[in-house]
Amino acid sequence: AGNDLFDGDVGNDTLDGGAGQDSAFGNSGNDVITGGADNDYLDGQGGSDTVDGGSGDDTVRGGNSTGNDSLFGNVGNDLVVGSLGNDTLDGGEDNDQLFGNAGNDSLLGGAGDDVLKGQGGADTLDGGTGTDTLQWSIGKGNDLVQTTDYVDTVEALGDITANIFLIGQNAANELTISDGARTLRVGPGFAQVVVNARAGDDAVTISDIDNVPAVPLTVNGESGNDVLTAAGSNIGNVRLALDGGFGDDVLTGSNDADTLLGAGDDDSILGGAGDDIIDGGDGNDTVNGQDDNDSITGGLGNDSLVGNAGDDTISAGDGDDFVDGSDGNDSLLGDAGDDTLSGGAGGTSGSDTLRGGIGADFLFGGSGADDLNGDDNDDYLSGQGGNDTVRGGNGNDTLLGGVGDNDLIGGDGNDFIDVRAGTRAFANRMNGGDGNDTIAGSFGDETILGGDGNDQLFGNVGNDVILGGDGDDWVNGQGGTDTVAGNQGNDTIRDPASQIDETFTLPDDVLADLDAL
């Protein structure tokens, strides 16, 4: 008992510290060292040693020789470090740290939440029970990591240089992570696999991994201008996340559903096929969701965001952004900043929803039945093709109906509404809302409501219903058999006298149109 110091010197020694905080050094020879109770420091040094920390939070070391050591942490939160030989490390109970050092080592975490790192050589790492982290460093060895309890994490680490990681699968359907010379093999059953490339301009390439058992795979570029790509690869049940970190990164997703995060700086992101989740983060980012139904967030900065094929949801974030839904039924939000939003092609079935958010925005519906809302500030909205609903929101807005039977509502502010597109006749319904509005009809039979304010209303050649609403309005039905009324205020009505009727009763279908506006 007591705090003892042992020095084995030359020969095969047996050292037992017993109770107390002991320090034991085997020196040369094949030694057996036992720490006993309390927190001990045990170092086998030369030879092939057997070292057991016993109970307590111990430091157990094999030494710097090429001997093949057997090292046991036993009970307690232990630090176990191998020698330069082929060692066996067993953490035992509690939360241990195991480092294999050089040589072909076998590391077993045992019970508890352990950290295992093979370092040099061809090592085998098994976390045992508990929530363990099994680490492999680039350039350090050809390791195999395995688990049995489905709660462990594999972590592959780069260094501060420009690292190259190659991620794929082998004939045994194991996930492989390689630097081109050394390879980590990942057995089945892990809770997650994480690649941390660390500082430097790193390149990470993911090939087909569709035969690998289901596991979340996260690749963190961290700092530096990184290229993380799974272009054209099939990932099957692997849940892939690429995070560029700080730097101007290039990220490309796989043929399946990925999560792609740009984080800081100016990133370029391609979603690939699959229903992807993409977030550009801060910086002026360029994002293309490519195929399938993507969820895209631009974040802070002046971004260019394209959904491409599929029914995409795009939120531009702060900044002056360009957003194009392209094909499909897309939902686009400009957020803060002066944004340009385009629903894109979509065909006759492409029904897009566009909201400008805060800022002076430009919204273009494209073909299809689109819903446009400028929200705040002075916006420019064009429904273009299809039967669109266009709302200016707050501000002095410009609303263009385009080709189709459209509903256009100016909202608050002095708005300009124009549906004069080509020579075809469309049945548009228009409401200026509050403010001094100007509304110009087209060739069809239209319903025009000025709303509150001093409005200027033009019907064109169709059989129009025009109501000035409150305020001093100027109304001109122009051609056609029009129903015209000024309503409240000192109004000016220009139309053939036979068409002016202040005591008319509107039919039910017209009343329904007015209620809809």
Give the mean pLDDT per block of 10 residues along the chain (517 residues).
Answer: 84 91 94 94 96 97 95 98 97 97 95 95 95 93 89 93 95 96 94 95 98 97 96 97 97 98 95 97 97 97 96 97 95 96 70 96 93 96 93 97 91 93 76 94 89 91 87 85 77 61 54 62
Q: Residues 417, 433: contact at Cβ < 8 Å?
A: no
- Asked if residue 458 lies in contact with residue 437, where contact means CB atoms within 8 angstroms, the answer is no
Q: In whole angstroms, what is the distance from residue 277 CA to residue 295 CA?
A: 5
Q: Is 510 exposed, middle or buried (0-12, 13-18, 19+ CB in 10 A)?
A: middle
For 364-375, give one letter per residue: b (16+ CB within 10 A) or e: bbbbbbbbbbbb
Q: What is the predicted pLDDT for the residue at 426? A: 78
State residue 438's pLDDT score: 96
Q: 316-343, pLDDT tens digit by residue? A: 999 999 999 999 999 999 999 999 999 9
Distances (CA, A) of 358 to 324, 333, 366, 394: 18, 10, 22, 10
Q: What is the pLDDT of residue 401?
A: 87
Amino acid 332 reads L
CA dihedral 59→64→66→67, nearest 10 degrees, is -40
The model's pTM is: 0.89
Could you tell me whether strands 175-178 and 183-186 are parallel, antiparallel, or unpaired per DSSP bridges?
antiparallel
- pLDDT tens per residue across span 211-231: 999 999 999 999 999 999 999
Contacts (Cβ under 8 Å, ≥6 apart) of 190: 145, 147, 150, 152, 153, 154, 215
Q: List the structure tokens of 414.
A: 């002095």
173/180 Cα distance (integer angstroms): 19
Q: What token pair was written down for 296?
A: 């895209």
Instruction: Give the distance, in angstroms, between the CA of residue 213 and the centroid of all CA atoms in the same chain.
Output: 23
pLDDT of residue 236: 97
CA distance 96 to 135: 14
